[in-house]
Amino acid sequence: MQTRRIGDVQVSAIGLGGMPMSIEGRPDEQRSVSTIHAALEAGVTLIDTADAYHLGADEVGHNESLIARAVASYGGDTSDVLIATKGGHVRPGDGSWTLDGSPEHLKRACDASLERLGVEAIGLYQFHRPDPRVPYADSVGAIRDLLDAGKIRFAGVSNADPDQIRLANEILGGRLVSVQNQFSPSFRSSEPELELCAELDIAFLPWSPLGGISQAGELGSRFAAFTDVAKAHGVSPQRVCLAWMLAKAPVVIPIPGSSRPETIRDSVGAVDVKLSAEELARLDAA
């Protein structure tokens, strides 16, 4: 497995997104555990989750607890696995997603995530999404306080624009290590954030890199260029998509969501796909 850097640690160039294992349409727990174990077996050392990845209001942190159990039950060495989680998004249990970026909520959420993950310090803690009711500086200030208190090892932000990335890095005293934004063939408006992260040497973690749970399987039919390049390499369009992202900048670490062992195994194979300059240009134009 090739590696890339978050903060001062090396992680797998392809991560695993845990959301599909805990929200609507989720599989039974055994399949999810098998998926996480397959990822670890394939060399994945970055697993992304959030306290909001759950269904009912009575199971906040479902995905965090699931991942903690799966990692603990894996037979191999997991000492180099970085589990990244997030706070600031809330699911009240009626299917909606709401926001709470208040410092008080973020600090309580972090404490709860620490307990669910069973760690002394969270590997990477990310402010999930800006809350328009709370000054961005106040929310990121809470993340800074958690970092200073040693409750989190690294700090990141998610769903941030360039100005927010710069502000977050300033508030964190230059310690912002990652930005997690949506980016895929069908959603490219985060190109400016990707370019800024490359300039600042901050990891850029594309979420829903294959287009999201409902559309990932249709990526090839929606974007013919990815299918054509995939045929030339004898791989899936999804694998080509992740390889295309990896080629954009050394700071890019896609985190495709998965709930089946075979899909994360396919995703991991993206590190071995070498795309030509002509192919990359064609995919950029798709």
For residue 57, the tally of other CB atoms under 10 A from its CB is 11
Give the Cβ contact number of residue 98 at 10 Å. Answer: 12
Backbone torsion region of residue 237, taken as left when φ is above 0, otherwise alpha when ψ lies between -120 and 50, otherwise beta: alpha
- Tally of CB atoms within 10 A around 188: 12
pLDDT of 264: 97
| pLDDT for the residue 213 | 83
Provide the percentage of residues in the chain whose pLDDT is more than 90. 96
Mean of the pLDDT values across residues 136-143?
98
Contact between 20 and 26 under an 8 Å Cβ cutoff? The reply is: yes
Helix locations, the chain, DSSP H: 29-41, 62-73, 103-117, 136-148, 162-171, 191-200, 219-222, 224-233, 237-248, 261-268, 277-285
Checking if the pLDDT of 66 tops 90, the result is yes
Out of 105-114, 118-127, 195-204, 211-220, which region has the weakest mean confidence (pLDDT)?
Answer: 211-220
The residue with tokens 């996480």 is 36
pLDDT digits (tens, 9 = 90+) for 208-253: 999 988 788 899 999 999 999 999 999 999 999 999 999 999 999 9
Q: Residue 98: which pLDDT band, with cuts at 50, 70 and 90?
A: very high
Name every residue whose Cβ is closer than 8 Å to that of residue 67 and which is 6 or more positions away in sequence.
18, 36, 47, 49, 83, 117
Distances (CA, A) of 192 to 134, 180, 198: 24, 13, 10
Q: Which of 53, 74, 125, 136 is catalytic?
A: 53
Q: What is the mean pLDDT of the chain?
A: 97
- Contact 252/194 with Cβ under 8 angstroms? yes
Neighbours of 199 (CB within 10 A): 10
The mean pLDDT value for 182-200 works out to 97
What tokens appear for 213 in the block? 């749970």
Mean pLDDT of 95-100: 95
pLDDT in the model for residue 217: 87
> pLDDT for 143-170, tens place per residue?
999 999 999 999 999 999 999 999 999 9
Active site residue 53: yes
DSSP state of 84: E
DSSP-based helix, strand, coil % in the chain, nearest 5: 45, 20, 35
Mean pLDDT of 69-84: 97
Contact between residue 193 and residue 225 where contact means Cβ atoms under 8 Å apart: no
Distant-in-sequence, close-in-space partners of 162: CB < 8 Å, separation ≥ 6: 192, 193, 196
